[in-house]
Structure 1
Amino acid sequence: MKKSELRKIYLEKRKNLSQDEVFFLSEKIFTNFINYFKPISEQKVHIFIPIEKFKEMNTQVFIDYFLSRNIKVFVPKIVDAKLISVEIFSDTQFETNNWGIFEPISNEDFEVLDFDFVITPLLYCDFKGNRVGYGKGFYDEFFSNISKDSKKIGVNYFNPDDMIDDVWENDIPLDYLVTPTDVLSFFNKSE
């Protein structure tokens, strides 16, 4: 199935979730992530702040957990059409940008490339780790610049069902997908 079709289907599926379902499913994804990856103090995690109007999963539970355990937390921010990584702390100041996205006030790019985990938003992911996002390409460019040892982890309410037909050569697949029911690894997935 084409990315445009999958994007439409999964935006609609998400739109139909209640706030209670978003919260419940987010908690299950969080639990699966913690149990599988077992993050520890001093590790570095890059994690998105959800776009609530698109019913992205609630990542605050992750952020609170990481900060309480001395795990370094970085969030994405688009500055001059580029995704940068801003380190956040429990007292970081945030504001809502022009697109309605909550983000840190700071524009300081910490230029970290060796994340332990990059927790990635998406609308859909297939059985090979190919993902469908919002179509802007920010994460593919970001993935191409970070350490190859950084674990690229998608989080989604839904498990894979269809293969993505129009994967582009610049698309960089995920290493893992965490859903409310599974943690899928995409290592050694051949054609």
Structure 2
Amino acid sequence: MKKSELRKKYLEKRKSLSDKDIFQLSNDIFKNFIHYFKPFSGQKVHIFIPIEKFKEMNTRIFISYFLSRNIRVFVPKIADARLISVEIFEYSKFELNKWQISEPVSDEDSGILDFDFVITPLLYCDRHGNRVGYGKGFYDGFFETVSEETKKIGVNYFNPDENVDDVWENDIPLDYLITPTEVLSFFGEE
């Protein structure tokens, strides 16, 4: 299926989710992440702030967990048409950008490239790690800059059941996908 079709299909599927569904599915994804990856103090995690109008999963549970365990947290911010990584703390201030997405007030790019994990938003991911986002390409550009050891992890409410047919040369696949029911590895690690 083409990305445009998958984007439309999964935006519609998300619209049908209740707040209760989102809460439960987000918690299940969070538990799968913790169980599988076992993050620990001192690690560095880049994670998105959810866009609530698009019913993205609640990553705030991840962020609270990380901050309470001295895991460094970085979030995306769009600056000069590219995605930068801003480190946040419990006292960090946020504001809405022109797309009504919550971002840190700080414009200071951390310069960090050796993240342990990049937890990535998406609308869909197939069983080969091919990601369908919102079509702006910010994360593909960001993935090009991070360390090869960084684990690129997608999170999604839905299990993959169809292939992305129009994968492009500049598309960078994920290493893992976490759903409420499973963790998929795309390079044979278990």
TM-score after normalising by structure 1: 0.98
Residue range with higher mean Cα deviation, 30-39 or 91-100: 91-100
For residues 101 and 144 of structure 1, the distance between their equivalents in structure 2, rounded to whole angstroms, comes to 23
Within 5 Å, give how 1:5-20 maps onto structure 2.
5-20=5-20
Corresponding pairs, count: 189
What stretches of structure 2 of length at least 5 have no aligned partner? Answer: none
For residues 60 and 109 of structure 2, the distance between their equivalents in structure 1, rounded to whole angstroms, comes to 21
1:80-133 Cα offsets, whole Å, 9 max, x none, are 101000000000011111111111000000011000000000000001000100
1:25-73 Cα offsets, whole Å, 9 max, x none, are 0000000000000000000000000000000000000000000000000
**Letter in structure 2 aligned against 1:59:** T
Runs of 4+ residues deviating >6 angstroms: none
**Equivalent residue for 1:146?**
146
Q: How far apart are 1:188 and its partner, in Å? A: 4.5
Identity %: 75
**Letter in structure 2 aligned against 1:11:** L
**Equivalent residue for 2:51?**
51
Equivalent position SS for 2:9: helix
What stretches of structure 1 of length at least 5 have no aligned partner? Answer: none
For residues 168 and 142 of structure 1, the distance between their equivalents in structure 2, rounded to whole angstroms, comes to 16
For residues 76 and 104 of structure 1, the distance between their equivalents in structure 2, rounded to whole angstroms, comes to 8
1:139-175 Cα offsets, whole Å, 9 max, x none, are 0000011001000000000010100000001000000
**Equivalent residue for 1:123?**
123
**Letter in structure 2 aligned against 1:163:** N
For residues 83 and 98 of structure 1, the distance between their equivalents in structure 2, rounded to whole angstroms, comes to 15
